[in-house]
Amino acid sequence: MYSFNYARVKSVAEAAAALAKGEDVKLLAGGQSLIATMKLRLSKPSDLIDLGTVAELRGIKVEGGTVTIGAMMRHAEVAASAEVKKAIPALAALAGSIADRQIRNMGTIGGSVAHNDPSADYPAALVGLGATVQTNKRKIAADDFFKGMFETALQAGEIITAVSFPAPKRAAYMKFKNPASRYAIVGVFVAETAAGVRVAVTGAAPGVFRVPEMEKALAAKFAPESVANIKIPDKGLNSDIHAKADYRAHLVTVMAKRAVEAALRG
């Protein structure tokens, strides 16, 4: 790991001030991707601003059918939250399927969303549920937030403070995971929401994406057979040692079908 300066902050305002001091200043949430990247010398921040003690980034609130999760909430906390389990069981289950237990005890929703790993689970939940990312400056719809591999709509000095999820009528997430890393080779989040049916895919492409054809078919009839014969083109999909593009395309259909089945089971 390259050397860096370390600072702890107590508030979002303090973090924003520290972030403004240089281009290579980075925020440290749980660090489960960032520290690993730094150990491989793929990332070289000049300063790390640790958000571990920022109380205002903690907490889970349920108000009027919306679940708001503070950016520094750990995956294990979201998975175990009685409120999340009650309002959006699919979201609690997704959080409980990220990586392994030790990583879930450190990793945070804000960190995962800001990192936007193409194989991460949370982006599928945000886009699948039509969530809103709240920052210290504005609110950003999930559809506008994720910009492809490791890229987001976040601007310099912008800090994620929370993510708000409208509770759907029903939803489920199914992933075909890499057995070693537990990352999604393909993960599909299906939700029947007040604003219509949403189908979001992670792991398959350089970034999370929706499948309008499946959404249309499920809006007409929310049943597994509605998506069973919808194939997505493999052009532009990820292709690596774990799965070729055509296999990933195939998995999108299979995982979508299973997600619909799971959503109907409730």
Residues at the interface with other proteins (CB under 8 A): 1-6, 8, 28, 31-32, 35-36, 38-39, 48, 50, 52, 76, 80, 99-103, 105-106, 180-182
**Considering beta carbons, is residue 38 or 162 the nearer one to other proteins?**
38
Q: How far is the CB of 40 from other proteins (least distance, A)?
A: 8
Q: Of 144, 198, 142, give the one whose Cα is nearest residue 169.
A: 198
The backbone torsions φ and ψ at residue 103, rounded to the nearest 5 degrees and listed phi first, read: -65, -40
Q: What's the gap between Cα 168 and its chain centre?
A: 17
Q: Of 170, 165, 221, give the one whose Cα is nearest residue 193.
A: 170
**Considering beta carbons, is residue 101 or 169 the nearer one to other proteins?**
101
Largest CA distance in the chain: 56
Q: How far is the CB of 2 from other proteins (least distance, A)?
A: 7
Residues linked to residue 47 through DSSP beta bridges, in sequence order? 5, 25
Q: How far is the CB of 1 from other proteins (least distance, A)?
A: 5
Listed in sequence order, the residues at least 6 apart from 140 whose beta carbon sits closer than 8 Å to its beta carbon are: 132, 133, 134, 153
Joined tokens for residue 19: 């972030």
Q: How far is the CB of 72 from other proteins (least distance, A)?
A: 12
**Considering beta carbons, is residue 14 or 234 the nearer one to other proteins?**
14
Scan for tokens 């195939």, then name that residue. 250
Would you state the torsion angle of the CA atoms of residues 108, 112, 115, 116, taken in this order, to the nearest 10 degrees?
A: -170
Q: How far is the CB of 71 from other proteins (least distance, A)?
A: 16
**Considering beta carbons, is residue 99 or 127 the nearer one to other proteins?**
99
Q: How far is the CB of 36 from other proteins (least distance, A)?
A: 6
Regarding beta strands 160-166 and 139-141, do their DSSP bridges make them parallel or antiparallel, or are they unpaired?
unpaired
**Considering beta carbons, is residue 25 or 227 the nearer one to other proteins?**
25
**Considering beta carbons, is residue 103 or 163 the nearer one to other proteins?**
103
* Residue 53 exposure: Cα atoms within 13 Å on the Cβ side: 7
Secondary structure tally for the chain: helices H, strands E = 12, 12
DSSP 8-state class, residue 137: S
Residue 261 contacts residue 228 (beta carbons within 8 Å): no
**Considering beta carbons, is residue 50 or 143 the nearer one to other proteins?**
50
Q: How far is the CB of 7 from other proteins (least distance, A)?
A: 9
